[in-house]
Structure 1
Amino acid sequence: MNIQAVPTGLLLLSCISVHDETPTIKTFRLRAKSGPLSFVPGQALVLKVPAPNGPLWRSFTISGGDSGDLHLTIKAQARGGATRWLHDNLRRGDTLEARPPRGSFTLALRHNGKLAFVSGGSGATPMMAMLRHLAATEPKVDVAWFHAARAPEETLFASGLTELQRRMPRLSVAMTVTQPSPGWFGYRGRIRRALLAAALPDFGRREVFCCGPAGFMQEARLIHAAEGGDKTQFHTESFGADAPVIIPPTPERAGTDGPAHRLKVNGRDLQIRPAETVLQASLRQGVVIPCGCGEGMCGTCMVRLVSGDVDARPNGGLTAEEAEQGYILACSSRAVSNVEISLE
């Protein structure tokens, strides 16, 4: 599994250790061959996972880091997916390729002094990274964390949270499970308004950072609004490691919307229809561009624009520096002339 050559812009990461968090969740400590890595708590790392049927590019939120290393806390999902491959195969000393840390789901969005972290399952990972940062920089900040898990044994970071509560006197933690076991004294059931009202009575007055399954986040958003919350103070991370990416099909009669253009991908000549994104056109004609979210947020589908012009509309997944260097996001870019891109 060791990789000898890494394309420009990618990192080569070595697995330093693997730690079991729960029966289904592991934390992988990764170190870049090029030297210490920096990240902003809440950001994600896009890994190239060498699965048997071809590489899978997936985004994993960084759960923490120290001494220039990064920690990824990952729950194993269905067999055949990236998370299951990592659990079954990644060991100390192995190497993986990755894109540098990226993402806008960070405390830079914050405007309110009172915070609520709301997470479901492995959505706890960005919250833990943020909380560790706050413990080091603002230990007296008012933070309420509500976490939902399937069962008590799947609740994440229990010992770490106990330690952080010693250092953060205004940190409160509430947990709910849908399959409680004997001896469980926390909340029970799925996220709902009555449950959040009991756990976080002032939920509507807090600025919320929310991460978890799509339905979980939507329910939390609706509850926050119903409690009088400001919708501009509800932030979500909306892509996940094994979440299926649905690329909208191109309309069959898209040719009536304007001229088609030529699209060259790594020397291969394709056609791009007026309504298509670069990603849609490539996939339709058998050229696979790695994609994580399909919404311009995660940066997985970043490609280099060699020539031509595009209507590029990144949604936080592309930095200003990357744009200046000629990179675009295939999922949110449409051609306005003949275009050539490079996947390297």
Structure 2
Amino acid sequence: MDMRVPPKGQLSFACVSVRDETASIKTFRLRAGSGQVPVIPGQALVLKVPLSSGPVWRSFTVSGVRDGDLELTIKAQSEGGATRWLHDNFIAGCQVDARAPRGDFTLALRQQPELAFVSGGSGATPMMAMLRELAETEPQADVAWFHAARDPDEVLFAAELIELQRIMPRLTIAVTVSRTAPGWFGYRGRLNRRLMATAVPDFGRREVFCCGPQGFMQETQLIHAAEGGASSRFHTESFGGDTGPVATPVPASPVGVAGPSFQLKVNGRILAAAPDETLLQASLRQGVVIPCGCGEGRCGTCMVQLVSGDITASPNGGITQEEAESGYILACSSRATSDVEISMN
């Protein structure tokens, strides 16, 4: 297999413009060299970010589509990470490689008319993408949006939400901030059941789309369940965003390998992989870092090329059929059934 052949879904984008949303959040407008790229609101684009330590793949939700261009609204995180590099270096005229938009956190999951969008920080981006779609296709949609921000200056899309409320008469918006400022008259404090009951009294009866930090999403799901909400009507987006130069989120893996194991060769290094652990778990356990985002087969960040061997895979929307046919797999959701060699090149 020619290791120089990229996945068929790999694209090249040019940065058309950058605008400041808040002091720490920017929106990057990208234009594909191959023409308009299909995207479903709620999906994410996986960018190849050229850090000084080497390129890394990171997933960012598409916040909007403008005249065929894709917009990514990104908050700068840790120094040395992908988001910080984008904020400091990615300007109009720059080029970046990417994988085609992917993900199943979309309105296709919707089972009932009454919706609740719950977001924390930059988790507002997929909600805005879906809300813009509803404004165009279903302006009478019943949507309650609850957003949590650190302080008033970091509340995203405030002006546009006011405009959308004029188009969507059944759209309600509640915002809470952890740190208040003079002139703030919205909700205050971290998410809890009492606050949610005040902001969205019928929360348990609504179908929920939730995005934000992992702990925030877990708390929201507990509140929804406590209010009588069905788990089948609670959806989360967990692409993981930016974790610095090395992505670390990964499901728990065995401390050591007991019993039979297969040989796992990663970029020439020989490791061992137990049948019950993923290739990502086996690699990280033995000190070989494969960048990952969600750890659930959804974001495509941990995509590697299968050079040889057999695996079982359970991807969750993070890889396209064309990429799979080109010999690519997701390390976080693939397990060895024979000796295996993979490449991160």
2:294 is matched with 293
For the aligned residue pairs, the C-alpha RMSD in angstroms reads 2.1
The letter for the 1-side match of 2:338 is S
1:148 is matched with 148
2:6 is matched with 7
Pairs within 5 Å for 1:95-174 = 95-174=95-174
1:242 is matched with 242
2:324 matched to 1:332?
A: no
Q: Say which is worse superposed, 323-332 or 109-118, in terms of deviation.
A: 323-332
TM-score, structure 1 as length reference: 0.91
- Partner Cα distance (1:22, 1:91) in 2: 17
- Partner Cα distance (2:201, 2:172) in 1: 12
- The alpha carbon displacement at 1:270 in A equals 2.4
- The alpha carbon displacement at 1:24 in A equals 1.0
1:68 is matched with 68
2:303 is matched with 302
- Partner Cα distance (1:49, 1:56) in 2: 5
Q: CA distance change for structure 1 residues 204 and 48 in 2, over 3 Å: closer, same or farther?
A: same
Q: Is the 8 A contact 1:310 1:333 kept in 2?
A: yes
- Partner Cα distance (2:33, 2:287) in 1: 33
- Partner Cα distance (1:224, 1:269) in 2: 46
- Partner Cα distance (2:266, 2:178) in 1: 47
- The alpha carbon displacement at 1:329 in A equals 0.9
- Partner Cα distance (1:91, 1:335) in 2: 42
- The alpha carbon displacement at 1:325 in A equals 4.5
Q: Say which is worse superposed, 163-172 or 116-125, in terms of deviation.
A: 163-172
- The alpha carbon displacement at 1:248 in A equals 5.7
2:91 matched to 1:91?
A: yes
Q: Which SS does the other structure have where 1:295 is aligned?
A: coil
- Partner Cα distance (1:232, 1:239) in 2: 20
The letter for the 2-side match of 1:81 is G
Q: CA distance change for structure 1 residues 276 and 229 in 2, over 3 Å: closer, same or farther?
A: closer
- Partner Cα distance (1:114, 1:247) in 2: 34
Q: How many residues align?
A: 337
- The alpha carbon displacement at 1:239 in A equals 2.9
- Partner Cα distance (1:161, 1:63) in 2: 13
- The alpha carbon displacement at 1:16 in A equals 0.3
Q: CA distance change for structure 1 residues 64 and 6 in 2, over 3 Å: closer, same or farther?
A: farther
Q: Which SS does the other structure have where 2:132 is aligned?
A: helix
Deviations along 1:185-222, one digit per CA (max 9) or x if unpaired, are 11111111111111111101000000011111111111
2:313 matched to 1:312?
A: yes
- The alpha carbon displacement at 1:273 in A equals 2.3
- The alpha carbon displacement at 1:262 in A equals 3.4
- The alpha carbon displacement at 1:13 in A equals 1.1
- Partner Cα distance (2:91, 2:38) in 1: 23
- Partner Cα distance (1:222, 1:169) in 2: 29
Q: Is the 8 A contact 1:47 1:97 kept in 2?
A: yes
Q: Which SS does the other structure have where 2:210 is aligned?
A: strand
- Partner Cα distance (1:6, 1:92) in 2: 28
- Partner Cα distance (2:269, 2:233) in 1: 45
- The alpha carbon displacement at 1:271 in A equals 3.5
- Partner Cα distance (1:154, 1:263) in 2: 45
- The alpha carbon displacement at 1:251 in A equals 3.8
- Partner Cα distance (1:247, 1:146) in 2: 28
- The alpha carbon displacement at 1:314 in A equals 1.6
- Partner Cα distance (1:240, 1:325) in 2: 25
Q: Is the 8 A contact 1:270 1:285 kept in 2?
A: no
Q: CA distance change for structure 1 residues 158 and 250 in 2, over 3 Å: closer, same or farther?
A: closer
Deviations along 1:224-283, one digit per CA (max 9) or x if unpaired, are 111111111011112321245234675455141x2x3333445x3624322442224445
- Partner Cα distance (2:120, 2:229) in 1: 20
- The alpha carbon displacement at 1:100 in A equals 1.0
Gap regions ≥5 residues in structure 2 = none
- Partner Cα distance (1:230, 1:328) in 2: 33
- The alpha carbon displacement at 1:26 in A equals 0.4
Q: CA distance change for structure 1 residues 153 and 251 in 2, over 3 Å: closer, same or farther?
A: closer
Q: Is the 8 A contact 1:205 1:228 kept in 2?
A: yes
Q: Is the 8 A contact 1:262 1:269 kept in 2?
A: no
Q: Percent identity?
A: 67
Q: CA distance change for structure 1 residues 200 and 251 in 2, over 3 Å: closer, same or farther?
A: closer
Q: CA distance change for structure 1 residues 48 and 324 in 2, over 3 Å: closer, same or farther?
A: closer
1:17 is matched with 17
- Partner Cα distance (2:284, 2:266) in 1: 11
TM-score, structure 2 as length reference: 0.91
The letter for the 2-side match of 1:189 is G
Pairs within 5 Å for 1:26-37 = 26-37=26-37
